[in-house]
Amino acid sequence: MNRKTIMLGVAGDSASGKTTITKGIVEALGPENVTAICCDHYHRYNREQRRQMGLSALHPDCNYIQIMEQHFRLLREGQPILKPVYNHATGDFDAPDYIEPTKFIIVEGLLPFHTRLMRLCFDTKVYLDPPDSLRRAWKIKRDTTKRGYTEEQVLRSMAGREDVAPRFIHPQRGYADMIVRFYPPNEDGDPGDNHLNTQLVLLPTLPHPDLTDVLEHGGGGYDAGGYDPGRAAGRPAMRLDLARHEGRPADFLEIDGSVCPEKAEELMSIIRGHLPPNAGLDESRLGRYQFGHEERRSYPLALTQLLIAYQLILTADQIAHATDRAVAPTL
C-alpha cells in the first residue's frame, strides 16, 4: 500500500467522547494539516427505514461496510473520496462531501475497526471506554441540545441498542493500541466536570514515550484481574503501573482530574521532549471542550490528546526519514 497519509482511528460507543478527543487534536495539529471524518454517515437506511425494519444504526447491516473499507484505503493512499452525509436533524441524507485528504487523517465513529481491512488502514487505533452511566448522561445532553431529540426519544433509542453494542462496538476494544476511560472521581460526579479522572491503557503494539522519570508508581491499584480505582486510596495524582489488560501486558497511566497544572505541564513537557523540534503542535488547544456556552480545560483530556498526537507526529517523522533515505543518492 502506497503511503501518503498518517491515519488515526477513534472508536467507541455513541457519546463516548470521540468528537471531543478528535476536535482538540485537529486544532493542535492545525486544521490545514488534518482531515477528520465521521464514519457514522455510511448508513444504508434513513431513520424512518431503520424504524420500520427494527434495525439499530449500530448494526453493521445498517452500514455500507465495504464502501468504508474502500474509502479508508483511498484516504490512506492520499486519494479523494465522496463521503456520504447523514443529517441527524432530518434523519435523512444530504448531498455527499468531497474530501481531499491532508497529511493526517482522523476517522472517528462506531465501527472503524469492524473488519480487518479497515483496521489495516490505521497507524494508531484508540478506543474510548467511559463508564456506561457517564456515557448515558453525555448522550442525553448531546442529543437533546444538539440533535433535536427529546429525552424520551434518547432513552428509547438507547434501550433498543443494549444488545447491539456488546456484539459489535465493544469487541473493537481488543484491536486498540490505546484505551481511554474518563470517569468521575465518585459516582455522583458531574458529567460536565473538568475534574473527571482518566485511565489510559497503553498497549505494547505502539512505542509509547518513557514517562517513568516524572511519574510515581501507583501501588496497590492493580492485581491479576486488572485495575481497581477503589483500591488506590492515598495515591499520587498521576501514576504509571504495568499490569495485564485482557491477557496482554500494558502500561496503565492514571491521571486524576484534580492534578495540579504544574505537575500536568511537567508531564506534557516530558512528552514534548520526545517529539521532533518541528512537530508544529499548538498545545494551548489541547484539553479544551465546550460545556454549554462555556469553554473549559481538562488536563487529563489534554494529556490524552497529546499522547495520541505524539503517535501521529512520530509516525510522520519516521516516514519522512524513510523517504529521505530512499531518495538519497548513492556515492
| Residue of 37, 32, 18 lying closest to 121 (CA atoms) | 37
% of the chain beyond a pLDDT of 70: 87
Residue 253 host element (H or E): strand 248-255
Q: Which triple of cell numbers denotes residue 42?
A: 455510511
pLDDT value at 234 more than 70: no
Predicted confidence band of residue 147 (pLDDT cuts 50, 70, 90)? confident
Residue with cell 465518585: 186
Diameter over CA atoms, the chain: 72
Residue type, 146: K
d(CA 176, CA 10): 9
Say what the pLDDT of residue 227 is. 43
Q: How far apart (Å, rounded) are the C-alpha atoms in residues 46 and 161?
A: 17
Q: Give mean pLDDT, residues 258-278.
A: 89
How high is the pLDDT of residue 2? 53
Q: HSE-up of 269 (CA within 13 Å, CB side)?
A: 8
pLDDT of residue 237: 87
Fold of 1-127: Rossmann fold (3.40.50)
Q: What angle do CA 292, 298, 302 make, to 5 degrees?
A: 120
Percentage of the chain surpassing pLDDT 90?
A: 60
Computed over every residue of the chain, the mean pLDDT equals 87
20: confidence class by pLDDT, cuts 50, 70, 90: very high
Query: Nearest to residue 190, comparing CAs of 133, 147, 127, 269?
Result: 133
**CA 38, 39, 42, 47 torsion-angle sign:** negative
Residues 304, 308, 309, 311, Cα dihedral to 10°: 140
For CATH 3.40.50.300, the residue range(s) in the chain are: 1-127
Q: Residue type at 192?
A: G
The per-residue pLDDT for range 74-120, each reduced to its tens digit, is: 999 999 999 999 998 899 999 999 999 999 999 999 999 999 999 99
State how far the alpha carbon of 40 is from the alpha carbons of 9, 59, 85, in Å. 13, 11, 9
Residue 276 DSSP label: -
Instruction: Identify the sign of the CA torsion 133, 205, 21, 10.
Output: negative
